[in-house]
Structure 1
C-alpha cells in the first residue's frame, strides 16, 4: 500500500494531491487568473504559486486526514512546463521530502495526465489525445514507452484558443477556453478557416493569425458575431485533432480513445470524438474538469506507479526540465 503526495505547478494551476493505492484522498488546487485580454507571465505565475502553495498543501493533508508520517513518497512535476512555476513547485517538493525524510520522484507532466485518465476511466490500452494549453499530442503505448504518433508543429490547441479569447476580450475566469466553449454554443454561422493537417501533425499558428487579423473587421461588419467566430474556431481545430487521432487508432487497431489535458474537458470535443469512436465501434474514455485540468493527484498517481516499480529520482537529478518529452520516460509499470 503506497500513499503518494503530488505537487503540480507547470502552468497557471498549483495543485497538491494525495493518492492511496489508486484512491484520491484529496486534490485541492488554485488557479492564477489574469484580467481579460492578458496571458500569464512565468514570473507572476510563480509569485502566485509561492503565495498559496503551503495553504494548498495544508488543505490536502487535512482533507486526506493523514499526517506527513503516513506518506511514502513525494512526487513533483519535473516538466514540461513554464520554468519559474515549475521551479518554485520543485523547491517546495524537495523541501518537504527532506523535512519528512521521504524519497522523491520527478514526474513527466504528460505521463501524469495519461495515468490519471487511465485510472479514472478504467481505460486499458487506449490511443490518447493529450490536449492542453502547452501540449497537443496523439500518443499510444508500445514496448515500455508512450509513443508520440502526431503533435502540433507550432502552438498547442489550448494556447490557440486562449489567444483568440484575448483578441475578443473574453474573461480568463474560470479559463478562456471554457468561456470560448460557452460562447461557441450560441454560434450559428460558420466561417471557413485554414485547416492544416500535415501527415500526423497539426499546425494552429496560421489559422490563429488568420482569424486574429480578420476578427475586428468581421465583427464590425455585422456579418459574424463573436459567438460565430468561437464556434468556427472550435469546430475547425477539433476536426483536425479528430482526424489525426482516428488515423492513429487505425494504425494501432485501437478500440479505445482517451482524451486528457485541460482542453479535454471541452464537451464539444468529447462529443465529436465520441461520434468518431462509435463509427469505428470503439469507445471514448473521458474525464471531467477535476482530473482533465492540471492537478496534484495525477502527479501522485504517476509517481506512485514509478515508485512501486522501484524508481526513485536521485537527489542530484531533482531539477526541472522545461522540455521533457513524453516518450523519454521508461514505462516500467506496464507490460
Structure 2
C-alpha cells in the first residue's frame, strides 16, 4: 500500500507568491493521490485583496483534490509595522507560530492511524530561513522561485560577486558597466539592473539573503519551462555554480482567478493561435515593473514602428 505523505507549504504574503504556490499544490495533489498539503498563510494587513483570496481558497472544498489541501491562517501581525520591515523579518516574527503549527500537524499524524506523515517543506524564495526548522523535524526543504530562470541566475550572480569579490553595486550607479551573466545570452548593462540595486537594504533582502538561502535547500522549483528559457535553464543546470538542482515546473497560472485578472484570456489565446509561428513579441515587466506615461508612450510607438505583432502585459504605476 502506498504511504500517505504530507508537505507543508509556506508562501510569502503577496499575490505574486501565494498564487503560484497554491497552484503548485493543486498540481501535486492531482498527480499524487496519496499526497496532502498544508499551506500556512499570513493575512497581510497591507492588501485586502490578498486576504479575500485566502478566504476564497479556504472555502473551496468542491473536489477530492482541493479537499487534500488545507489552509492554516497564522495570526495577523501588527498593522502599524512598516511593510518592508514586516516582510523582511517574517521568518523571525512568525517562526514560533510556524513551528507550533507544524508540531500540531506531526502530533495529529502520530495519533491517528493511517494519517499522512510529514515528508518535507516547500518554502517561498524569501522564506528559506525555515530550512533550519525543516531540519528540526527531520525532513528536507525545497523552494519555489516564483520568477523566471533568468532572474534566478541574476540573483545568484550578484550574490556570488558580492560575497566572493566584495563588489558593491552602488559604485556602478549611473555607469554603463556591462556584466556577462550566465543566465542571459547578451551582456547586461547596469542601466538595466533593477532600481532596487541603488538601495542596500533592498539588495540585502531581495537578492543577497534570498540567493544565500536558496543555496541551502535540496532543490529549487522555478515557475518557468525549458522551452521558454532554454539558455537560462541550461546555465543553471550545468553544475558550475554550486547551486541545488533546479526543476522547471511552470507555467503555473491561476486562470480561474475570481479577481478577473485573466478575463480576456480566451480572446488572447485565440488571437495567438491565429498568428504565424514565432511571430509575436511578448513584453512583461513583472509585478514590480511600471512606467511613466511618457515611457509607456515611447515603448508603444517603438512597438508600432517595429512592424512586429506583440502582446503586452502592462501594469499601472502604483498598483499592487
TM-score (normalised: structure 1): 0.31
Which of structures 1 and 2 has the bigger CA Rg?
2
Give the structure, 1 or 2, with the largest relative contact order (CA under 8 Å, sep 6 or more): 1
